[in-house]
Amino acid sequence: MTEPTGTESNGATAETRSGLPSWLLPAILGALLVAMTVFTVYLWRENDTPSNDSADAGFARDMTDHHAQAVEMALIAWQRSDDPEIQQIAYDIATSQQAQIGMMQGWLTEWGLSLARDGVPMAWAGDMDHDMEGASSIDDMPGMATREEIDALRTLEPEEMDREFLRLMIAHHQGGVLMADAGVEHVEKDVLHNLASSIASAQQLEITTMQTMLDARETS
């Protein structure tokens, strides 16, 4: 099947294989990000704010970057896959993690802290940071895919892309669970502690689901 293009020859807007306009999910994600950021800032009114080098700030920044890559991969899979199950889990990952990005950026903004880190990633993570020695960029965070792996998702045949997406996202979630567990241990704010705990639980469930999906597609 040929790749969808920006416009078809008759001038109609391109659609994904699910039949939905290709711009729809990115538009939803953009609206989620804005809405969750504004909502979080509105609700947050504590005077005791974390410091710039706190575990709370570090976790929010690093998990934001980690989530952003998951959203990117999920968008590719949602747009290119012919498989309704792949489309559904990609949609769920993209929308849930984009909403969480909005929450974390909203808290950082309300605390008067920069969205960008000053030092190396995972410096807030205590004992876990020993496994990150030599890390210098977000690409070194647990579970992160390489740029080459992500680019391959754009060019692989749909069925092989489905399998590779699941492999990459399983590894990505496994890294996310490690980071979330470290967040549960080190952050002080209840909102971040609760978020880290929910991320760990949700992603562990999704790992199980995706592994089942991958096993079925590798033996079919």
Q: How far is CA 6 from the centre of its chain?
A: 25
**Cα–Cα nearest to 152, from 75, 86, 76, 94:** 76
Q: What is the pLDDT of residues 50-89, one digit of tens each?
A: 999 999 999 999 999 999 999 999 999 999 999 999 999 9
CA distance 194 to 205: 17
Judge contact between 58 and 9, C-beta under 8 A: no
Sole residue written with tokens 């991969």: 73
CA distance 162 to 197: 28
Angle between helix axes 24-43 and 84-110 (nearest 10 degrees) is 30
Q: What is the pLDDT of residues 107-154, one digit of tens each?
A: 999 999 999 988 889 999 987 755 565 566 788 899 999 999 999 999
Instruction: Specify the pLDDT at position 195.
Output: 98
* CA pseudo-torsion sign 90, 70, 61, 34: negative
Residue 199's identity, in one-letter code, is I
* CA pseudo-torsion sign 143, 144, 145, 151: positive
Q: What is the pLDDT of residues 165-177, one digit of tens each?
A: 999 999 999 999 9
Angle between helix axes 158-186 and 55-80 (nearest 10 degrees) is 170
* CA pseudo-torsion sign 184, 187, 191, 192: negative
Q: What is the pLDDT of residues 3-48, one digit of tens each?
A: 444 444 444 445 566 566 766 677 777 777 766 666 665 555 455 7
Q: Which domains does the chain have, with CATH numbers?
A: 30-41+51-114+142-219 (1.20.1260.10)
